[in-house]
Amino acid sequence: MLKSRRNEILVAMVLIAPFVAVYGWLFIYPTIQMVRLSFTNAPLIGAGDWIGIDNYVRLFTDRIFKTAVWNTLYFVILTVIPGTAVALVIALMVSRLRGWLQAIVLAAFFLPFILPVTVVYLIWWWVFDPQFGIAQYIIEPIVGQPVSVWRRPDWFLPMAALVTVWWTNGFSILLFLAGLRNISSEIYEAAALDGASRWQRFRRITWPLIWPVTALCLTIQLILQLKIFDQVYLFSLGGRTNTTMVLVQYIYEQAFVHNKGGYGATIAVALFVIVVAVSVLQYQALRARGAR
């Protein structure tokens, strides 16, 4: 019996070894190192001196860091709730359909989600091209002139948010569709017998029953969009980035462009703290809402 117990432990060690090795080396170790690095003035590669909390003091007076925080929050506001609302509307519309029509319509809404960000970027770079882009046929009549959207600070983040919703919405749509499928059709039939209108059925049946899925989508989207980098970086290529800077982009700028590894790590710690704080807050808020 003792032998088989020792054998079990041995087998377990062999099975977990690869994961634990990679996880320890490339996840836990760098997480600890990130915090340590944030107290030094190290360049990206090479040793630096311990400078205490200087980096953190600097962070609080850094105007670009403040811009990056605001832009990230602005981007979250522009994407999370509108994106989830759009996904719910699309899911409601798709769930009414049946058979091949539903399959095709769903594929049309979902396909952007599986594309690489660089493809999404190239598509919309072309669509918004100030001279030849088809979006200018909509923008010009409204604004009066073609707009170079990726060079205009006031247009940049809202349009990046639009692209992001277009790109990532397939994920939430799938979750909503699964949730809608779980609502028993008998409830709707009973409501229809009682003469409930479309809106009443949505307000009194669908909305409360779909709320857990809505909460899940909001949580996932919120955490995801706080970590925004790819689209914003790509669309800002060749322009002035300081006005449209987001947090992860600022880590990249400081560490990889300005060769300030220590300060880059400090911004990374700030991102880490924001993500943890927001997750905890949101978890509490959603639980409160769910308990009501």
Partner 1 sequence: MSATQRTEVHAGVGQNRLIRYLDISGLALTLITVVAAVIWAFPLYWLVITTFKPEFEVVRPYIELWPEHFTFEAYLHIIANTKIVTWYINSIITSVAITVGVVAMGAGCGYAISQLRFPGRTLLWWLILASFMVPVQALIVNHFVIMSGVKLVNTLLGIILPQLIVPVVVIVYKQFFDSVPRDFREAAVIDGANEFQLLFRIYLPMNWGVTTALAIITFIGAWNAFLWPFLVTTTEAVMPVSVGITQVQDAFGIYYARLLAGAVMTGLPVAVVYLIFQRRVTQAIMLTAGVKG
Beta bridge partners of 50: 40
Per CB under 8 A, does 83 bind partner 1?
A: no
**271 counts as binding partner 1 under rule CB under 8 A:** yes
Which phi and psi angles does 50 have, rounded to 5°?
-70, 120
Q: Given the rule CB under 8 A, which of 48-56, 70-78, 92-100, 202-210 is the region that contacts partner 1?
A: 92-100
Interface positions, 121-150, toward partner 1 (CB under 8 A): 121-124, 126-127, 129, 131-132, 134, 137
Q: Closest Cα to residue 105, out of 198, 173, 202?
A: 173
Residue 276 within binding range of partner 1, rule CB under 8 A: yes
Closest CA to 148 of 250, 242, 238: 238
Taking CB under 8 A as the criterion, which residues in 10-39 touch partner 1?
Answer: 11-13, 15-16, 18-20, 22-23, 25-31, 33-34, 37
| Binding-residue total with partner 1 (CB under 8 A) | 93
Radius of gyration of the chain (CA): 24
Shorter beta-carbon distance to partner 1: residue 39 or 124: 124
Closest distance between partner 1 and the C-beta of residue 14, in Å?
A: 8
Identity of the residue, 16 or 53, whose beta carbon is nearer to partner 1 in the bound complex: 16
Q: Which of residues 223-252 bind partner 1 (CB under 8 A)?
A: 223, 226-227, 229-230, 234, 237, 248, 251-252
Q: State the angle between helix axes of 261-291 and 207-226 in degrees (0 to 180), rounded to the nearest 10.
A: 170
Does residue 2 bind partner 1 (CB under 8 A)? no
Closest distance between partner 1 and the C-beta of residue 269, in Å? 7
Q: Taking Cα atoms as reference points, which of 148, 152, 154 lies closest to residue 71? A: 154
What is the DSSP secondary structure assignment for residue 1, as one 8-state letter?
Answer: -
Binding to partner 1 (CB under 8 A): which residues in 164-193? 166, 171, 174-175, 178, 185, 188-189, 192-193
Instruction: Determine phi and psi for 85, rounding to 5 degrees.
Output: -60, -45
> What helix, strand, coil percent values describe the chain, rounded to 5?
80, 0, 20
* Residue from 161, 162, 218, 255 binding partner 1 (CB under 8 A): 255
Secondary structure of 215-237 in HEC code, one letter for each residue: HHHHHHHHHHHHCCCHHHHHHCC
The answer to the question of residue 49 lying near partner 1 (CB under 8 A) is no
Residue matched to tokens 């322009």: 239
Query: Does 200 sit near partner 1 (CB under 8 A)?
Result: no
Whether 251 and 271 have beta carbons less than 8 Å apart is answered as yes
